[in-house]
């Protein structure tokens, strides 16, 4: 028979810490503290299984639950010598939520439940304090009305403020017993007026109303949003904790507070927290009174004259300090505790693993490992890899005020503030004049690269997590928000419109690329600092991981950044990104628009020294680390000139007829460029393009080896291969160029030839491809597009709805679709190794920096992952965690 209710009191409990899934985090920890003999007010937990029943059975309860609750409630009363609903010795309880994952503030709580017109008189007599009793009563009515009866908080708060004004006082503490008694009556009258029924006096009706409200809050808007942000499954449900009340508002020897066993902001090993004398918990949350520091040291640091708990209540503080140390040792992690002192006696109301900043998490994990409390592997597993972005990018000051004007997708982490500009040229000009700017575009194109580089951050109205703006911004380490579809821009008039807010060119905005938010004005920021703990954790991670971590880098600066973050090679150098500089785009357009071999070769001759210099710079920086260079893979529409001015410019440079070039541009236009004339198809139809690139690569490699005395570990990658004959054709042409360069330079360039696996057919034909390819690099951006039949640039228009409606659990462009795309990767790995036992395997799409995808890559047996420079530490840690999990 199912057990729905688990009791606890000091010294014994029916549950324990390991029963978090059933009892929720709060219930499991209350049980554990009780079993440890800590001073916990007695109570009971209604399990998460009841929540599941509640939602599956039209918000009803299991048949035996009421009987179980009555039994548990009677036991609580016996422990504290009180009875629920008794007019002389009333038992009062709190009703709180408690999901298995901590969701602070997301669900509902009711305190002082069990009060009515009769029991409040009993409480006054029992305590000898009528003011306290009626204050507790009005608090209960106010809280119950908001949580259970769903009356807007302001309706009763207005009554309270009016009464204080009538009496000529400002603080709640200045009201006496008669005032609170009158206010309680006014509250109840307002409830009847608004609802057409009396406030419930029956204490059992009150209890079941509160239990239902807590279960109901699991599906409330706050909880749903929190679960979506933190990936908490909807079917987990919440438990309900019913516990005997203890009161921190019983005078100057009573208090309520929150304490952390270590500083949650810095990680310092020192008790940290706040408390309020003569107060209940909601007084701290409501901000009506300013809390006081728990420790004398913290009080002195803040220069407060108000006594700390250590000074005002030394005995209770000493007991709290001892309990805090014991709980941290028991749970082997930093604890977040809630407590109440009632007339000098300390009670523990909650403990849970404390939330902390990324900086604090690093220090706490490394300190605890050095203290011997946890192992190094446990320290590595304590850090969320994605949280390391906080350590590498500026972030908004959490204490700063801000005005949100739009939300979009969190495309590239970090925060930036600057003046609005609407074009790449404006961004470059403004930056050159010393202005900090945010480039705001409908969407970016490769031609915007100079403006993106000049801007402090990028905001686009369209686009997804792997759109051009997102990919380039991550590579540059620029904050970026994409898909902010509620915004409208009018570049011609220089306006950005966000609902009722209209901003002009030059106005200040702030973007938060980690949260996907846009704010009006400049929001203060906190700038990153690389700590000793960060370096130590990375050292431990490198010792544990099997996967190598490479970077996606197209410039020597990108390579320098990635090396600083620990990259062991370049897994993807996109050569098309090198062609968008103003001094190169013209030559590229000449090459593409040329209608004969001679015209193309003339343009390629201009590009050859530029490309050679590009590669030489990268080889110099990377020294003897492997460098994988992908040959040209642009959809042609990204290079074709569109305007009359652009066509005229190309015509002048090439000495050609503008009309002829316009006709050629029209002939080259495509209905679906992403699946069109690009990648290896370009290299086959115009072999001279790849031959020029191969020559530039080999000549640069030989020169770098000569200069540095170190070998260049070169890998040449052919993109978008679907047929083995495509790969064979181009591999032979590249080998021919290598032989030619060897004869000219009297030195044979050493290199591997390989291909990107970014088409389903390539994955299926991997065994045959591996007979030519010496390495595979999974281009999962395009492999996801071609497998799902979804354009990553357009997916933002509907993927949000898919995620919100549960059609998809996650964005497949952010974390790899393991069942679909992942299965193709597994097939390619197995068949590729069948064709070549020592084939080198890696991933170079944007997924290479996603922790969940890195776990998949480890399990699938890849050799390396490659990601943007600023995600290298994330990948190093995720790879270590994958190895630890596998073990």
Which of the residues are catalytic?
468, 844
Residue 488 three-state SS? strand
Tell me if 470 sits within 8 A of 459, measured CB to CB: no
Measured between alpha carbons, how far is 857 from 546 in angstroms, rounded to an integer? Answer: 11
Measured between alpha carbons, how far is 323 from 338 in angstroms, rounded to an integer? Answer: 12
Residue 662 three-state SS? helix
Q: Which residues contact 686 (CB under 8 A, 6 or more apart)?
A: 600
Residue 7 three-state SS? strand
Tell me if 704 sits within 8 A of 713, measured CB to CB: no
Measured between alpha carbons, how far is 392 from 811 in angstroms, rounded to an integer? Answer: 24
Rounded to the nearest 5 percent, the helix, strand and coil shares of the chain are 50, 20, 30
Residues in the chain: 887
Tell me if 791 sits within 8 A of 785, measured CB to CB: yes
Tell me if 24 sits within 8 A of 239, measured CB to CB: yes
H-helix segments, 578-723? 582-593, 597-622, 644-654, 658-668, 680-685, 687-708
Tell me if 828 sits within 8 A of 843, measured CB to CB: no
The DSSP bridge pattern shows strands 751-757 and 775-778 to be parallel
Measured between alpha carbons, how far is 241 from 238 in angstroms, rounded to an integer? Answer: 10
CA-nearest of 551, 548, 420 to 477 is: 551
Q: Which residues contact 58 (CB under 8 A, 6 or more apart)?
A: none
Tell me if 572 sits within 8 A of 549, measured CB to CB: no
Q: Which residues contact 35 (CB under 8 A, 6 or more apart)?
A: 11, 12, 13, 16
What values do phi and psi take at 244, rounded to 5? -60, 135
Residue 2 three-state SS? coil
User: Residue-wise over 584-606: b if at least 16 C-beta within 10 A, else e?
Assistant: bbbbbbbbbbbeeeebbebbbeb
Tell me if 153 sits within 8 A of 187, measured CB to CB: no
Indicate the burial class of 887 (C-beta count within 10 angstroms; 0-12, 13-18, 19 or more): exposed
Distances (CA, A) of 472 to 51, 166, 337, 868: 45, 62, 43, 9
Residue 416 three-state SS? strand
What values do phi and psi take at 2, rounded to 5? -65, 140
Q: Which residues contact 652 (CB under 8 A, 6 or more apart)?
A: none
Measured between alpha carbons, how far is 554 from 60 in angstroms, rounded to an integer? Answer: 60
First to last CA, the chain: 38
Measured between alpha carbons, how far is 392 from 123 in angstroms, rounded to an integer? Answer: 56
Measured between alpha carbons, how far is 845 from 445 in angstroms, rounded to an integer? Answer: 19
User: Residue-wise over 470-490: b if at least 16 C-beta within 10 A, else e?
Assistant: bbbbbbbbbbbbbbbbebebe
CA-nearest of 466, 510, 478, 509 to 414 is: 478
């Amino acid at each position: 028979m199912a057990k729905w209710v688990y009791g606890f009191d000091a010294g014994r409990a029916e549950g324990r810490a390991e029963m978090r899934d059933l009892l929720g985090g709060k219930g499991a920890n209350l049980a554990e503290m009780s079993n440890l003999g800590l001073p916990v007010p007695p109570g009971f937990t209604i399990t998460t299984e009841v929540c599941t029943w509640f939602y599956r059975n039209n918000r009803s309860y299991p048949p035996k639950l009421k009987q179980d609750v009555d039994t548990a409630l009677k036991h609580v009363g016996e422990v504290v010598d009180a009875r629920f609903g008794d007019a002389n010795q009333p038992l009062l309880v709190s009703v709180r939520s408690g999901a298995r994952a901590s969701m602070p503030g997301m669900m509902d709580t009711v305190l002082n439940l069990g009060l009515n017109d009769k029991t409040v008189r009993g409480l006054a007599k029992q305590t000898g304090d009528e003011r306290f009793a009626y204050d507790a009563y009005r608090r209960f009515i106010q809280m119950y009305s908001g949580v259970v009866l769903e009356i807007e908080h302001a309706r009763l708060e207005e009554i309270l403020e009016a009464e204080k004004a009538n009496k000529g006082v400002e603080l709640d503490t200045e009201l006496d017993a008669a005032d609170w008694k009158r206010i309680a009556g006014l509250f109840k009258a307002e409830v009847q007026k608004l609802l057409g029924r009396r406030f419930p006096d029956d204490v059992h009706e009150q209890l079941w109303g509160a239990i239902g409200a807590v279960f109901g809050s699991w599906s409330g808007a706050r909880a749903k949003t929190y679960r979506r942000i933190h990936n908490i499954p909807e079917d987990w449900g919440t438990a309900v904790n019913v516990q005997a009340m203890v009161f921190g508002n019983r005078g100057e020897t009573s208090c309520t507070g929150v304490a952390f066993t270590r500083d949650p902001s810095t990680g310092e090993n020192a008790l940290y927290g706040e408390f309020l004398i003569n107060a209940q918990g909601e007084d701290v949350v409501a901000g009506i009174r300013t809390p006081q520091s728990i420790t004398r040291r913290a009080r002195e640091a803040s220069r407060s004259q108000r006594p700390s708990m250590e000074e005002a209540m030394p005995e209770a503080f000493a007991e709290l300090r001892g309990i805090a140390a014991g709980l941290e040792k028991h749970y082997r992690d930093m604890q977040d505790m809630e407590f109440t002192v009632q007339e000098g006696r300390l009670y523990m109301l909650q403990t849970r693993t404390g939330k902390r900043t990324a900086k604090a998490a690093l220090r706490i994990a490394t300190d605890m490992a050095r203290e011997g409390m946890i192992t190094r592997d446990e320290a590595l597993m304590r850090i969320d890899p994605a949280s390391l972005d906080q350590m590498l990018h500026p972030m908004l000051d959490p204490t700063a005020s801000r005005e949100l004007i739009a939300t979009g997708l969190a495309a590239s982490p970090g925060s930036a503030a600057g003046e609005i500009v609407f074009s790449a040229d404006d961004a470059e000009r403004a930056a050159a004049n010393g202005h900090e700017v945010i480039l705001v575009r409908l969407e970016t194109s490769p031609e915007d690269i100079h403006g993106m580089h000049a801007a402090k951050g990028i905001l686009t109205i369209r686009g997804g997590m792997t759109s051009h703006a997102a990919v380039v911004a991550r590579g540059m380490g620029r904050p970026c928000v994409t898909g902010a579809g509620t915004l409208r821009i009018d570049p011609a008039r220089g306006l950005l419109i966000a609902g009722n807010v209209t901003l002009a060119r030059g106005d200040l905005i702030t973007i938060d690329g980690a949260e996907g938010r846009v704010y009006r004005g400049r929001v203060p920021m906190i700038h990153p600092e690389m700590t000793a703990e960060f370096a130590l954790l990375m050292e431990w991670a490198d010792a544990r991981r099997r996967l190598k971590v490479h970077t996606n880098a197209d410039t020597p600066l990108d390579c320098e950044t990635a090396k600083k973050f620990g990259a062991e090679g370049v897994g993807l150098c996109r050569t098309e990104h090198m062609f968008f500089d103003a001094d190169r785009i013209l030559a590229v357009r000449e090459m593409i628009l040329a209608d004969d071999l001679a015209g193309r070769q003339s343009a390629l001759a201009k590009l050859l020294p530029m490309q050679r210099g590009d590669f030489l710079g990268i080889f110099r920086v990377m020294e003897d680390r492997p460098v994988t260079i992908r040959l040209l893979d642009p959809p042609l529409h990204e290079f074709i000139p569109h305007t009359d001015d652009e066509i005229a410019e190309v015509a002048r440079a090439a000495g050609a007829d503008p009309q002829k070039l316009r006709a050629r541009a029209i002939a080259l236009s495509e209905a679906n460029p992403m699946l069109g004339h690009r990648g290896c198809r370009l290299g086959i139809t115009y072999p001279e393009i790849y031959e020029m690139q191969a020559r530039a690569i080999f000549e640069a490699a030989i020169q770098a080896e000569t200069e540095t005395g170190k070998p260049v570990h070169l890998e040449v990658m052919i993109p978008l291969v679907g047929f083995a004959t495509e790969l064979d054709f181009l591999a032979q042409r590249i080998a021919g160029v290598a032989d030619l360069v060897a004869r000219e330079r009297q030195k044979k360039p050493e290199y591997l030839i390989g291909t990107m696996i970014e088409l389903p057919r390539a994955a299926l034909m991997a065994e045959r491809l591996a007979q030519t390819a010496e390495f595979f690099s999974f281009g999962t951006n395009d492999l996801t597009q071609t497998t799902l039949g979804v354009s990553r640039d357009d997916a933002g228009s509907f993927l949000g709805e898919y995620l919100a409606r549960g059609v998809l659990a996650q964005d497949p462009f952010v974390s790899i679709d393991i069942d679909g795309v992942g299965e193709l990767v597994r097939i390619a790995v197995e068949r590729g190794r069948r064709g070549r036992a020592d084939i080198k395997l890696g991933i170079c799409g944007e997924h290479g920096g996603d922790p969940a995808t890195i776990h998949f890559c480890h399990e699938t047996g890849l050799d390396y992952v490659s990601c943007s420079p600023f995600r290298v530490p994330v990948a190093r840690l995720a790879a270590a965690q994958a190895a630890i999990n596998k073990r």
